[in-house]
Amino acid sequence: MNTFLTQSIHQQKKYRGIWIGLLILLFFVVALLLRLHTLNVTFDRDSYDEGVYWQTLRSWTAGNPLYGKTFYSQPPVFMYAVYPFYLLGGQTIWGARLGVAIMSMVGLVGALCLGKALRGWLGAIIAALLLLIDPRYLSTSQVLQAEGVQVPLTLLAVGCAYLWWSKPTTRSGMIAAGVCTISLVAAILSKLFAVGALVPVFLLAVHQLWRSFHQPAPEKRAILISLLIAIICAILATIICLAPIFSSWSQFWNQAIGFHESAKSAPNVAPRLHMILQALNTPVSYIALVSTLIALWKRDWRILPLLAWFVVMVVILHSQKPLFPHHLVELIPILVALAIPGLQPLQEGLKELFQLQPFKEAIKKLRNFNGIASLLLALMILVSIVLNARTIRYYYKGIIADNNSPATQENRVIAQSLQSYIKPGELVITDAQFTLAMGNRSTPPYLVDTSSVRITTGDVTAQELITTASEPQVQGVMIAYSTERLDQVPQFDNWVHQHLHLVQKYSDGTQLWIK
């Protein structure tokens, strides 16, 4: 009898493992399909940044190194991550976006790790599901922006930190420790927002050290070894990521660090607190709130590092100048993480329902706090799936509408006409970088970014623009007066009118001047 029962339990675990594996595989397939849909639209999804990064990739491919000749305002890992896909994709915007889309799926791995560490396979599945259906995370995964690489790496780092914390002395725990610090270094060196994740990782490490003092010598030694592995991996990852730019260290520091410090002095009219509160008005935020309250009620103190991460990230975002809407995706992995610890009632409620007992008896057992809380969480998760699915559908409709809009059609006309006036290899100074790249033409390496922030902070001056425009390889200037970027430099605008010839004036106000 005992043998039969043991075999039955073993078979149940085997079948459960198969179903869980199939479900996770389905998540990844759906995630990939969602990201590939509308990935090849021919307009700047972010109104500006995609064009800058596309021109950065073009300049780098032409042999102009980052931070050397090519201006680049972020740490290098974002470019490292998308560059191979850009080359394999025929040096197109689709190939570059594909790199971001693939990297964004690393976030699903991070969600699975975090959920598994906090609430077993139920937590893993729900964490992955919440991330999968989040519209903001999905939209970020289709845009050529640093957040699309940095955010998933950050979530993977925190997920692995919790895996290590739960089993620090095992081989899997030591592997998780190494992956955690490698991911964290890569995230920080993709975009500096990731420094906020140092808080939960540091708190978990400190708590593990404190706990090790009460462990036997072998366990204490194993914990110290895992921490040493994490530190060594962090050092090696830092060296590997920064080695290609050691010769351009001062330029790297000025462009990736100093530029952002200077940007804080630029005029900032964005209502930052309002933007943050608006970003928190989402289904996953309310699930995270209820889960946090339940976890605190149940005294699950594992939620405290996540709460500290949330507070630090809000402070970082509020201090960011200028704060743009795409920055707010930084909150999504934290909210997904906060939604997991409070799943204990749902976890226990499902066990009651699926135990071998009459259904009515199981329902009676759930007429308590666990039952009410688990029902509330289950309903909130189902509602979030419906609401987010509807939002995603509207998002795709908006993308298709923008791709067919008169503005996009006009940009295609401009891109096509550029090829009649500018020969391959000749450069154009512009504040419409995406349109220029659509026409298979490039900007001067140092002027891949002519943003208002660079201009208002004096990082790009009128004299630099004039000097660059005078170089023989630069054959034209294309000014999109509707963007209010280059026309903020009247001295350069006057120089263009005096020294170049206007050959085209397009219906959207864009003007093309050539030598």
pLDDT at position 358 over 60: no
* Pairwise pLDDT comparison (82 vs 211), residue with the higher score: 82
- Judge whether residue 462 has pLDDT over 60: yes
Q: Identify whether residues 385 and 424 lie together within a single domain.
A: no
**Same domain? 236 vs 309:** yes
Residue 339 three-state SS: coil
Residues in CB range of 344: below 8 A, 6 or more apart: 119, 294, 295, 298, 300, 370
Instruction: Please identify, among 365, 399, 433, the residue that sits at the C-terminal boundary of a domain.
Output: 399
pLDDT at 16: 73
What is the tens place of the pLDDT at every residue in 393-405?
999 999 999 999 9
Residue 369 backbone zone (phi > 0: left; psi -120 to 50: alpha; other: beta): alpha
For residue 17, the model assigns a pLDDT of: 76
- Write out pLDDT tens, residues 290-311: 999 999 988 889 999 999 999 9
The contacts of residue 491 (CB under 8 Å, 6+ apart) are 462, 463, 466
Inform me whether the pLDDT recorded for 210 exceeds 80: yes
In a domain, 407, yes or no: no
Tell me the C-alpha distance between 389 and 133, whole Å. 7
pLDDT at position 286 is: 94
Structural contact between residues 132 and 33, judged by C-beta atoms closer than 8 angstroms: no
Identify the pLDDT of residue 211: 82
Tell me if 63 is assigned to some domain.
no
- Judged by DSSP in three states, 284 sits in helix
Tell me what pLDDT residue 96 has: 97
Given a cut of 70, whether residue 375 has pLDDT beyond it is: yes
Does residue 103 share a domain with residue 239? yes
Q: What is the pLDDT of residue 149?
A: 97
Q: How far apart are CA 414 and CA 506, in angstroms?
A: 7
In angstroms, the CA 224 to CA 228 distance is 6
Total structural domains within the chain: 3
Q: Do 393 and 494 belong to one domain? A: no
Going through 444-507 in order, the beta strands assigned E by DSSP cover 474-480, 501-505
Whether residue 20 is contained in a domain is answered as yes
Kindly state the average pLDDT of the residues 467-481.
91
Bridge partners for 513 per DSSP: 477, 502
Do 355 and 445 sit in the same domain of this protein?
Answer: no
Q: Give domain status of residue 43, yes or no.
A: no
Q: Does residue 212 surpass a pLDDT of 90?
A: no
Can you give the pLDDT at residue 273?
Answer: 86
Enter the tokens of residue 388. 């987010």
* pLDDT tens digits, one per residue of 83-131: 999 999 999 999 999 999 999 999 999 999 999 999 988 899 999 999 9
Q: Residue 395, class by beta-carbon neighbours within 10 Å (0-12 exposed, 13-18 middle, 19+ buried)?
A: middle
Is the domain of 229 the same as that of 267?
yes
Among 368, 399, 430, the domain boundary falls at 399
Whether residue 278 is found in the same domain as residue 334: yes
In the listed set 350, 374, 399, which residue is the last one of a domain according to the structure?
A: 399
Is 54 among the domain residues?
no
Let me know if residue 425 belongs to a domain.
Answer: yes
Mean pLDDT, residues 317-323 taken together: 86
| Confidence (pLDDT) at 458 | 82
- Predicted confidence (pLDDT) at residue 369 exceeds the cutoff of 90: no
**Residue 7: Cβ-neighbour burial (10 angstroms; 0-12, 13-18, 19+):** exposed
Check if the beta carbon of residue 159 is closer than 8 Å to that of residue 111: yes
186, 237 Cβ separation under 8 angstroms:
yes
| pLDDT, tens digit, 9 for 90 and up, residues 125-148 | 999 999 999 999 999 999 999 999
The 10s digit of each residue's pLDDT in 15-25 is 777 888 899 99
User: What is the number of residues in the chain?
Assistant: 515
Mean pLDDT of 209-215: 81
In this prediction, residue 395 carries a pLDDT of 96
Residue ranges of the alpha helices (H) in 366-405?
369-403
The C-alpha atoms of residue 448 and residue 432 are separated, in whole angstroms, by 10
pLDDT in tens, 278-292: 999 999 999 999 999
Residue 230 in contact with residue 180, Cβ under 8 Å? yes
Check whether residue 394 and residue 432 sit in a common domain. Answer: no
Q: Phi and psi of 87, rounded to 5°?
A: -70, -45
| Residue 68 covered by a domain | no
315 and 221 housed in the same domain = yes
Indicate whether 125 belongs to any domain. Answer: yes
Confidence of residue 363 (pLDDT cuts 50, 70, 90): low
Could you tell me which of 304, 330, 343, 345 has the C-alpha nearest to residue 116?
A: 343
Position 349 pLDDT exceeds 70 = no
Max mean pLDDT among 155-164, 247-256, 339-348, 361-370 falls in 155-164
**Average pLDDT score, the chain:** 89
Cα-based torsion angle of the residue sequence 173, 179, 183, 186 in order, rounded to the nearest 10 degrees: 150
Rounded (10°) angle between helices 369-403 and 106-132: 100
pLDDT at 1: 47
DSSP string, 162-227: HHHHHSTTSHHHHHHHHHHHHHHHHHHTT-GGGGGGHHHHHHHHHHHHHHHTTS-HHHHHHHHHHH
Q: Are residues 205 and 316 in the same domain?
A: yes
**The tokens 């809009």 sit on which residue?**
405
Output the pLDDT for position 10: 58
Distance CA 134, CA 116 (A): 20
Q: Confidence band (pLDDT; 50, 70, 90) for 56?
A: very high
> By residue range, what is the domain housing residue 198?
73-399
Pair (421, 393) in one structural domain: no
For residues 422-437, b (16+ Cβ closer than 10 Å) or e, as one string? beeebbbbbbbbbbbb
Do residues 230 and 84 share a domain?
yes
Radius of gyration of the chain (CA): 26
- The per-residue pLDDT for 5 is 44
The predicted pLDDT at position 351 comes to 63
